[in-house]
Amino acid sequence: KMRLDLLGKMRASDADPALVSKKLEEIGRLQVLLEKNIAMYILKVKENLTPEQREAYMNRVQQELRASIEKNGYGQVFQQQQ
């Protein structure tokens, strides 16, 4: 919803750069909060696993992240950073 709102602001013939910037900052803040919550959840799950389970779990997390990155068109960026 917020990204659609951002696009609406950008489509306006009299698009206000300050409003666009403010909406981007809001989206960014929420994205960081989401990423933090996911990371904390992963760490909590790891606490209850054996070393072998932790390794398998983290491999799965990495596979899912890689698939998500590639699906969303960032595959080339991901490959360049390896």
| pLDDT in the model for residue 77 | 57
pTM: 0.70
The per-residue pLDDT for 82 is 56
User: Would you state the pLDDT for residue 40?
Assistant: 98
Question: Whole-angstrom Cα distance, residue 67 to residue 21?
Answer: 30
For residue 48, is pLDDT > 80?
yes
Distance, CA of 23 to CA of 5 (rounded, Å): 8
CA atoms within 13 A on the CB side of 33: 6
Confidence class for position 70, pLDDT limits 50, 70, 90: confident
Q: Please answer whether residues 48 and 42 qualify as being in contact, where contact means their C-beta atoms are separated by less than 8 angstroms.
A: no
